[in-house]
Structure 1
Amino acid sequence: MKSNANAKLIVFHPSLHKQASTAPASHRLWLLFFITFFTLVFTLALFNSAIPSSSSSSSSASAASFSSAAASLPAAVADALLHYATTTNDTHMTQAEIASIAAVLRRSPSANFLVFGLTHETLLFRALNFNGRTVFLDESEFLISRLEQQHPGIEAYDVQYTTRVSQASGLIKSTRDQIKTDCRPVQNLLFSECKLALNDLPNYIYEVDWDVILIDGPRGYLPSAPGRMSSIFTAAVLGRSKKGGGGGKTHVFVHDIDREVERICSEEFLCEENLVKTVDSLGHFVVERMERDSFEFCRNRIKPSATSLLGNNKEDD
């Protein structure tokens, strides 16, 4: 038998077959790993980017809402909020006193509100009546000027008072003597010669039907101060001389009514019969319109002696 010297032996090693069969599986595993990894990264990135976007959208909506609310806030209210948010002074009036005035203004939309005296509550009163007209009167030209510079748009006028607290008894007596002439309860104060009448205010003041009048000025805490005799008398005449607006009634508030002059002048010209209530040091009166031929401020009153009521606080005119 002849041997074949050129014959070749081909041996298939098992490991070669194993490597060939497992390579594709390994590639698939790596491919699956990378796909899973990038999918996870993409998902996390998408999730993280979505959160700020939602928050930003919410913040933008809130900012837009706040901006819209601020834009619709009346200037007088915004001014008052800023003022009281940045001041630490105690209010001149008590909370109950302010609440009493606020309640009347709330029931009188678009009220004509006349205020004697500039106080810590000035901007607050203007804000409480932002739908109406609020006018301030004060004895200090300097304070009026500063107020107008700091708060443009506010309506305020200075008043020249010619009275003194020490003259109160003589002025009340003089007014009683002229009750049917210059000091009658129904008249145009612009032409009045009554010593207690304020006749140098802007002309339109006497034509307005005032719904609410607050008397918190001028100064009245010492004999040489102007006192509030004229402001109380003027408020009483304005209320009784109305043309009929506000149902023919005027709410008149007198602050510091526990002081002698304020109390006596209120009884004399605003009348106890018209007193609604007293809250702390604030008297609340409701004065009704009268006919032109009326010559008595009060219907039910026994007139005491002004001199005796005021004691030693008197002085000749």
Structure 2
Amino acid sequence: MPPLTIDALAEQYTDEIQLAPPQIEMIANTVRGRAPGCRLLVFGLGRDAGMWQRLNADGCTLFVEDNEHWARHALQRHPDLQVLRVSYAGRTVASSLPLDAAVRESLAAFPLPPELERTDWDVIVVDAPFGFDAGCPGRSLPLHWTRQLMGPHTHVFVDDYERPLERTYTDALIAPRCAHSLVVRRPGHEMFWGLGLNSGFAGWSVVDAGGRAQRLRWLLNTTRLRLLWFHDSVEVIPQLAACGLLDGRTHVLFSFSWHRDEAALRHLRRLLSGDGVVQRAAQLHFLLNSAEELAAFRTLVPGFDAMHFNNASLIDPRRFVPATGARRFQAVLNAKPLAFKRHELSVQVPERLFVSYDVQERDEGATRRVDLDALGAREIRRNLSAEGVAAALGEADVGLMLSAAEGACYASLEYLLCGLPVVSTRSLGGRDDFYDPAHSRVVDDDPAGVRDAVADLRARLARGDITREAVRTRALARRRAFLDALAARLQNVVDAAGLPLQAARLLDEAIAEGSKLQQHRNFWVAQLRPPGHVTPPPATDA
């Protein structure tokens, strides 16, 4: 060890220090490796404070402490310590587990202290606050803040990694971001050591069909396993292989909005036949919206992994809940004003509400514009936010789905989550996965049949034969079944990579961060762009 390290340990080390000598030596060598000028952040002002201060005498050391007794005791012995006093009020070990969406939201209520944010830390040691029983504050906030403070070359040490909170938070928040990590073990005690940010997909971008570029999103990005998810983007498959993104540690999921007919599946088979793709067949996973599409896939695209997963299951159900107010409308149809949505089948239903949107589709064929004003709805509301849609659904008795072919159909599940029974025509694409004879009616393409089915469901609601909570509960159960099936498939991939992650939790948390996986899926991608890509200027005539 360097002389300063030896001197610091000789002067300051005592048997009262809880860290074992090998752990101290690892941290000490890391600090001195960044000397002079190492920026050291230590969560916890314990009996080792003087040792860290002496060890980093030619650098900057800041201690973060919530316990006033420990702060006074340490400052009496070492008055020159730099200490940031914080409060972990409201945090306990018990309330910090499991690390679900609600707990993540509660962490967001504790912003990063500006005193920590303005420094690029070389080494961060998380060794406080107390976390030995359920009532202790626990280290949820220090680990949450550490995730935000990590830089490309930051070393992170987490003591007591063998405890559930430390392991859960480190595995979820810290480890996936590290370029390298290991666990230092001694009997009954573990310490996590992570180094640097995993650059992973840094610098990669995607371009959608409209020419808009944005960063490449991912579901998981670690040194052992990377999970990418593309939606309606099969054209990128040859590019994935050609550009090197489809390496041995990368798995890619593909989901779809629209029904996959035979022509679409044959086109997909051609894309999958290229160089470098067949060899990676086990790393490509296709999610089909209906059992019929899955059967056709297995016939037409053999040798590739696929499963029945209804894309609507990625809706965050917290956004859509049954309302308690008055119901002004007998039925609502939430759909773009396009011909294939078949609004005209609702004309015999009195007191209708149309929820509609501006569209960019070509005004021809199935996407021909429809004049909703001519169809006699009581009211038309346009371009609502998700909250506005949920409020509108809360004013109607029944939801309408009238297209003959579509896809999983978010709107259909949104009705059910809001407690609206559904009247649907027969359709391709999988939306009927969520229908139940108790709360749904599937009818012929006939305005009178739609009208009568709406009247029947409204009567059943009035009699109490069905309740809105029961409609929602059944929809949630079917959604959960799809997510659990996908999580089981992903868990096999995670386990094979040797990662201590729960795929079900990974999915739930990603959905909570953005309904429909908006923060983690890549939508309608036409082109991949590697780091450093420069768009050439437009050609000019000579």
Shared fold, TM over 0.5: yes
Taking structure 1 as the reference length, what is the TM-score of the superposition? 0.56
5 Å-filtered alignment, 1:215-234, equals 215-234=126-145
Shift in CA distance, 294/222, structure 1 to aligned 2, threshold 3 Å: farther
Deviations 1:174-197 (A, max 9, x none): 365x6xxxxxxxxxxxxxxx6256
Counterpart in the other structure of 1:205: 116
State whether residues 116 and 137 of structure 1, in contact with CA within 8 Å, keep that contact through their aligned partners in structure 2.
Answer: yes
Task: Indicate which of 54, 63, 69 corresponds to 1:127.
Answer: 54
Counterparts of 2:10 and 2:173, CA distance in 1: 36
Deviations 1:276-316 (A, max 9, x none): 22112111012428779798795146652569xxxxxxxxx
Counterpart in the other structure of 1:49: none
Residues 1:105 and 2:9 aligned together: no
When you count helix as a share of all residues, which structure comes out higher? 1
Task: Indicate which of 221, 228, 234 corresponds to 1:299.
Answer: 221
State whether residues 177 and 198 of structure 2, in contact with CA within 8 Å, keep that contact through their aligned partners in structure 1.
Answer: no
Q: Which moved more, 1:251-260 or 1:268-277?
A: 268-277
Taking structure 2 as the reference length, what is the TM-score of the superposition? 0.34
Shift in CA distance, 125/79, structure 1 to aligned 2, threshold 3 Å: closer
Q: Which amino acid aligns with 2:132?
A: Y
5 Å-filtered alignment, 1:100-249, equals 100-109=26-35, 110-161=37-88, 162-169=90-97, 171-174=99-102, 195=107, 198-199=110-111, 201=113, 203-239=114-150, 242=151, 248-249=152-153
The 3-state SS of whatever aligns with 1:249 is: coil
Deviation at 1:166, TM superposition (A): 0.4
Counterparts of 1:113 and 1:138, CA distance in 2: 14
Counterparts of 2:160 and 2:219, CA distance in 1: 21
Counterparts of 2:71 and 2:174, CA distance in 1: 28
Equivalenced residues, count: 207
Counterparts of 1:228 and 1:116, CA distance in 2: 9
Shift in CA distance, 136/296, structure 1 to aligned 2, threshold 3 Å: farther
Counterparts of 1:297 and 1:93, CA distance in 2: 36
Counterparts of 2:109 and 2:184, CA distance in 1: 27
Counterparts of 2:505 and 2:42, CA distance in 1: 26
Counterparts of 1:152 and 1:77, CA distance in 2: 23
Residues 1:279 and 2:190 aligned together: no
Deviation at 1:91, TM superposition (A): 2.6
Counterparts of 1:197 and 1:295, CA distance in 2: 25
Identity percentage over the alignment?
Answer: 23
Residues 1:267 and 2:171 aligned together: yes
Q: Which has the higher contact order (CA 8 A, sep 6+)?
A: 1
State whether residues 166 and 224 of structure 1, in contact with CA within 8 Å, keep that contact through their aligned partners in structure 2.
Answer: yes
Shift in CA distance, 213/297, structure 1 to aligned 2, threshold 3 Å: farther
Deviation at 1:204, TM superposition (A): 2.9
Q: Which amino acid aligns with 1:256?
A: D
Q: Tell which structure's C-alpha radius of gyration is larger.
A: 1
Unaligned runs of 5+ in 2: 204-214, 226-493, 495-500, 507-542
Shift in CA distance, 174/124, structure 1 to aligned 2, threshold 3 Å: same
Shift in CA distance, 157/135, structure 1 to aligned 2, threshold 3 Å: same
Deviation at 1:173, TM superposition (A): 2.5
Q: Which amino acid aligns with 1:260?
A: P
When you count strand as a share of all residues, which structure comes out higher? 2
State whether residues 219 and 228 of structure 1, in contact with CA within 8 Å, keep that contact through their aligned partners in structure 2.
Answer: yes
State whether residues 112 and 145 of structure 2, in contact with CA within 8 Å, keep that contact through their aligned partners in structure 1.
Answer: no
Counterparts of 2:216 and 2:55, CA distance in 1: 34
Cα root mean square deviation, aligned: 3.4
Deviation at 1:106, TM superposition (A): 1.7
Counterparts of 1:226 and 1:108, CA distance in 2: 31
Counterparts of 2:25 and 2:9, CA distance in 1: 16
Deviation at 1:146, TM superposition (A): 2.9
